[in-house]
Amino acid sequence: MSRLYDFFPRFKAGKDLILSIDLGLKPPKTREPDSVQNSSPDKKKRLAGVLFALFALAIVMGPGPGILLVNPEASDPGAARLFLGMPVVYVWAAFWFGVEALAVTLAYFLLWRKPA
């Protein structure tokens, strides 16, 4: 939930404000997520490298030459064309899309957000 509030800070500010009014308290101060507070520039650089490598891997493995690992030859009658009832190439595309999306999501939450 806290991640959701990171994405929509106004929601969190609104909720905290309503709570504080209800309880008769002073509105709380907002604070940066722990991932940002604790990360040093070196750590961030390393993480950026890892996420870039993960994204590049998804591009090479998904639409790139990596697809040849699972691509069923059209001329081979025994080739496995389906995986769990779905075309294996489609499942491969969906999987590597998931990896790309994960890399961008991690970058957003762990790298791109920084103190204002």
Partner 1 sequence: MIFAQNSLPPSAGNLGTICGIVLACYMLVLLLIGFVGYLRSRGTEEDFYLAGRGQGLLVTVMTIMATFFSSAAILGIPGNVYKDGVAFTLFALNLPCAGACIYLFGSRIRRIGRKRQYVTQGDMIADYYGDTPLIRLLVATIGFLYVLPYVIMQIKAGGYLAQGMFPDARTVPILGTDFGMFELGATALSIVTMCYVLIGGMRSVAWTDVLQGFLLFGGMLVAAIATMVSLGGIGGFFKEVSTLPPEALSLPGPSGTWTPWKLMTVCIFASIASLIQPGQWIRLYAARDDATLKKCSLVFAIVLPSCFLFGIMLVALGGRALFPPEVDADVILPHPFVGEFDQIVIVMIKEQLPRMLGVAGVILVAVILVAVLAASMSTADSNLHALSAVLTRDVYDRLLRPGSSQRERAWIGRVVIVGATLLALGLVNAGHDNEEFAPLKMIADLMFAAIAFACQLLPVTLDMLYIRKGTKTGAAAGMVAGIAVVFLFTPFPHALLGDTALSEKIESTTGILKALFDVGFCGFAVNCAVFALVSRFTRKLEPAHRESFSRDLIQ
Q: Which residue ranges make up the site for partner 1 (CB under 8 A)?
A: 7, 55, 58-60, 62-68, 71-75, 77, 79, 81-82, 85-90, 92-94, 96-97, 100-101, 103-105, 107-108, 112-113
Rounded to a whole number of angstroms, the minimum distance from the CB of residue 43 to partner 1 is 19
In the chain, beta strands by DSSP E: 82-83, 86-87
Q: Residue 16 or 88: which CB sits closer to partner 1?
A: 88
**Spatial separation of the C-alpha atoms in residues 62 and 89, rounded to whole Å:** 9
Tokens of 110: 């762990």
Question: How near is the Cβ of 42 to partner 1 at its closest, in Å?
Answer: 18
68 DSSP 8-state letter: G
R_g over Cα of the chain: 22
Report the nearest approach of partner 1 to the CB of residue 76 (Å): 8
